[in-house]
Amino acid sequence: MKDQALGINGLGRIGKLSVWQHVERKKFSKIVVNIGRKVGTSLEDVATFIEKDSTYGTIHNYLYGYKAKRVIENLDEKSGSMTINGLPVIILRETRNPKEIPWKSHGVKVVVDTTGKFRDPTLSPDTPGGSVRGHLAAGARKVIVSAPFKIKDKTTPLPEDAVTSLMGINEADYDPRKHNIISNASCTTNCLAHIVKPILDYFGFQKILTISMITVHTVTGSQVVLDRAPKSGDADLRRNRSVFENIILTTTGAAKALAQVIPEVKKIGFMAESVRIPAKAGSITIVVFNIQGDPAKDPVTR
């Protein structure tokens, strides 16, 4: 997409790695990153954060190997600009509310929201604190949400202009003429869907009595470093335990998100659990199918 800018809202793990990916691919003419707050004491501190990652190393090693030199240069504090691997990158640090981010003035038409905070596509742009629709109000044409949708009002259906689309599963459901808010679900849902769909296609949902799954997942930013007293209203007390010392049983929304992309799953009994372990990257999903008949005779098991 030459002469088009990509917007990235949020600069956590997903936001940072999205920057790394796009300065490598160079499908857009520039990248505009909204952090929404001051970072450190200067733009150099932002550049250092983008450059180095405790899990994945440095961006220049990621791009060119261990002998590579720094690829971030031409920092301009006043404009918030820099170049990364030769690609212009603009850093915005003024507002977190999506509708107030100046996407239009920067030529941004596609925004990737990596904050994990704006997941309800039913909320209006004027919702206090902001909403994912604020990006559209601010000039974007498409918003990709890096997390599953989470609608607060359970009686409200998914809006017609929103869709959950997984590559290799239901990407044909995406209609560019009407869908403006797109979720790619979660990492667990992507993993689970590519296990379930071929089994479902082969046997048919009529022969699958139940499906159970457990995902063993590394820690996320929502967990705590040291034990803390639960906040008012906290229901999942295990998440208040230190990520360093505990294997933490918790919940996963993967099954619900899976039903959005493979509707037949709704007709099958489905159980899903999640375990968080003291590690910083990676996960595994274990799925058990209870199938009517003798699957040992079928080539799918070989």
Domain segments of the chain: what residues? 5-183, 187-301
Q: Predicted confidence band at 296 (pLDDT cuts at 50, 70, 90)?
A: low
Say what the pLDDT of residue 222 is: 83
Helix axes 254-261, 187-203, angle to 10 degrees: 50
pLDDT above 80 (res 1): no
Q: Do residues 274 and 214 make contact, with C-beta atoms less than 8 angstroms apart?
A: yes
Higher pLDDT, 235 or 285: 285
Q: Predicted confidence band at 301 (pLDDT cuts at 50, 70, 90)?
A: low
Q: What average pLDDT score do residues 85-102 get?
A: 98
Q: What is the spatial distance between Cα 26 and Cα 39, in angstroms, rounded to a whole number? A: 26
Say what the pLDDT of residue 129 is: 94
Identical topology for domains 5-183 and 187-301: no
DSSP per-residue string spanning 219-279? --TTSBSS--PPPTT---GGGGSBTTT--EEE---HHHHHHHH-GGGGGSEEEEEEEEES-
The string of pLDDT tens digits covering residues 115-135 is: 999 999 999 999 999 999 999
pLDDT above 90 (res 15): yes
pLDDT above 90 (res 138): yes
Say which of 137, 187, 277, 287 is annotated catalytic.
Answer: 187
> 44: part of which helix (H) or strand (E)?
helix 43-51
Quickly name the fold that domain 5-183 has.
Answer: Rossmann fold (3.40.50)
In eight-state DSSP terms, residue 105 is: G
Say what the pLDDT of residue 256 is: 85
Global pTM? Answer: 0.92
Q: What average pLDDT score do residues 101-113 get?
A: 97
Higher pLDDT, 215 or 1: 215
pLDDT, mean over the chain: 93
191 is catalytic: no
Q: Predicted confidence band at 298 (pLDDT cuts at 50, 70, 90)?
A: low
Quickly name the fold that domain 187-301 has.
Answer: Dihydrodipicolinate Reductase; domain 2 (3.30.360)
